[in-house]
Amino acid sequence: MKLSKRTEPHFRMTESGMLLIATRTAGHPQLQFPPLEFVHGDEPVEQVPIGPFGQLYTYTLVHPGKDSEPYALAMVDFEPGVRAFGRLICKDGKAPAIDSTMRIVPSELPDGSPDYAFEAVSGESA
Amino acid sequence: MNEPKIVGVGITDFGRFPELTEEALAQSAILEALSDSGLHIRDIEAFYCGNAIGASLPGQRALRELHTGGGAVYNIDNACSSGATAINAALSALRSGQYETVLVFGMDQLSSLGGGPLPLSRNDWNNKRGMIMPALYAMRATRYMHEHGMEAATLADIAVKNRQHGLLNPIATFCKATTREEVLASRQIAEPLTLLQCCPAVVDGAAAVVLSTKPSKGLAAPVRVLASVVQSGLFETGPEDMTEAEITARTARLAYEQAGVGPQDLSLIECHDAFTISELLYYEALGLCDRGEAPQLLASGATALGGRIPVNPSGGLIAKGHPPGATGVAQIVEVCEHLQGRAGKRQVEGARLGLTQVTGGGIWGVDHAACSIHILSL
């Protein structure tokens, strides 16, 4: 068996902003985000940065109940042909309009590990 | 080899029964199905159990005290499609000649889980970031409203229609009549979906069917299975259209082809209305109308009892609740009862051909993990 776990992070900070890292292989040339977690055999894995800007495809505001704060989720489309899911930051409690230009911003998972979220570039509330 | 037919059906009340167990509920449905089929449990050569939430060996746990003859038990977990997938597997065994008479049952008891949405894998990429099933459907609804100009009131009207149906169904034990205003004013779950637009998650229930290639000894006419199709989700990481229920449309195409019928031939449908938006998306995926026309189809009354093609005459998941292992089998029981003319006050008059559709699973990268469609007739 030749099976290896990739350890590269799924995002990268650059001067132009935060990027997500998609992957593809010769056998599966469609870009994939989240990136491949495991690699079988010796097939090379290409890392392709996506972002920093995308378009909001859809969103929702989740109300988990009286003991937890509401939170927002979004699907954001990036060139060239990648849709990413993640937390949505709503300024002043307002979700951005669908098709708004979004950027990737630093965030954290509930366990405190570094992650990403999406935020409207400016003034594009629904 | 004779054609396998459904020769007996059984179903429990769907409701909250924390004092019971899923095994006891399953036994009740199994005994009812056996009585309906005129068969004894020792006539059953193999058992297929759909169960999504329970612990290991669900089928053996349920059957232990029914004194089977020790035939094979196949336990099948395909999330909300578990029961329907079990029927598909049982039909394959009957058609291959492996068995002549089998029993399929589905069961789950959720009242012991304490409420909230159905539990999903915590290791899933999306779920780690807060995805729950209502949120996935809410995002579909948001996009559908954006693309087609649908109002939130249309979503509410699905909840009203299905609860009106459910009031006629004696097993929908906690179904209550509701209004569009009450649906819209109920607590937000995942905007735009409110509480009354989500199927009750804390529900217990079981259903069972006996299938046989032998002549029926049952109380009612045996039911033919013209199509039985199970499909799995395609891995998609690109900008797919979330307003298209791709896996349901694909499964339906295969089922119509297998049955040699089309959507225009159907008398009734039981579909997976886990959320109000689901039923609207499935109108289009099942070919009842073109893309973007589901709100108009609903508004026309065509999908209500008395309409051209009643959808969810049982009340669906929204009125009955959704014990996921049982749902797919319960849909089959419902359609059988309509075809056999014993659906009581909710009877679809002259029902000749019925379709059941159930999806299953929330994992990143696929529309749904599973979809099962059956087409039944006398």
Q: Has the ipTM of the complex gone over 0.90?
A: yes
What CATH number does residue A99 fall under? 2.40.50.840
Q: Does A58 touch chain B (CB under 8 A)?
A: yes
Do A46 and A58 share a structural domain? no
Same domain, A26 and A71: no
Q: Which of B104-118, B156-170, B353-367 has the lowest mean pLDDT?
A: B104-118
Nearest to B54 by CA among B358, B374, B325: B325
Contacts of B193 in chain A (CB under 8 A): 60
Number of compact structural domains in chain A: 2
- Residue B362 pLDDT more than 90? no
Q: Is B80 a catalytic residue?
A: yes
In this structure, the answer to whether residues A35 and A74 fall within a common structural domain is no
> Do the domain assignments include residue A91?
yes
> Which residues of chain B lie closer than 8 angstroms to A106, CB-CB?
none
The answer on A116 and A61 residing in a single domain is: yes
Same structural domain, A71 and A34 = no
- One domain for residues A31 and A60: no
- Computed over every residue of chain A, the mean pLDDT equals 93
Q: Which domain holds residue A35?
A: 3-50
A33 found inside a domain: yes
Q: Is residue A126 part of a domain?
A: no
Claim to verify: residue A59 and residue A108 sit in the same structural domain: yes
Band (A124; pLDDT cuts 50, 70, 90): low
Q: Kindly indicate the confidence band of residue B174, based on its pLDDT and cuts at 50, 70 and 90.
A: confident
Could A59 and B129 be called an inter-chain contact, meaning their C-beta atoms sit closer than 8 Å? no
pLDDT (tens digit, 9 = 90+) per residue, A73-121? 999 999 999 999 999 999 887 899 999 999 999 999 988 999 999 999 9
CB atoms within 10 A of CB B23: 21
Residues of chain A found within 8 Å of residue B126, distances taken between Cβ atoms: 85
With respect to residue A125, please indicate whether it lies within any of the assigned structural domains: no
Asked if residue A108 belongs to a domain, the reply is yes
Min Cα separation B107/chain A (Å): 27
* Structural domains in chain B plus CATH codes: 5-114+203-217 (3.40.47.10), 125-201+226-377 (3.40.47.10)
> Do A12 and A37 lie in a common domain?
yes
In a domain, residue A36? The reply is: yes
